[in-house]
Chain A
């Protein structure tokens, strides 16, 4: 899995540079996300602008990350294309994660 990381104040923006987050890469993705949290990044913005598809394994990895963060921070989903937003809505994950239209708006939402 490839990512681009940008630190903005106490927020880490992680852009996923893959088109699909699916069962074949979900374990790696979960480990990578948990590593960010364990490195002290508790305010995460996951930029999904390059992602066109996420399956239940990918969503499960995000839930696992959220559990590791707990009440110490938040993971916000930014810039997800409409087809990916549908996948969050279908699985009711839009009730668990804040989905924000752009990275800039997501950054502002933390302050």
Chain B
């Protein structure tokens, strides 16, 4: 079972506000998921190096050449709130 504090820390990192009932319900569901993933603990990985990527094609790089077309203006138009060319978000300070 997931500890309640762990759930609340995770929730706060995800910017979720949970009331008592929601926390209780989510804790059950999350615990179930974790137990399911815990099956993997049984696999012996002693001498294996961690796999970070399934399809390994290394060094996929890009030349350092600027794009000729710009979507900047369209993207600014997409912003729900703007001030000149700035994109405005709720005050975070």
The yes or no verdict on A and B being binding partners is no
Contact residues of A with B, CB < 8 Å? none
Contact residues of B with A, CB < 8 Å? none
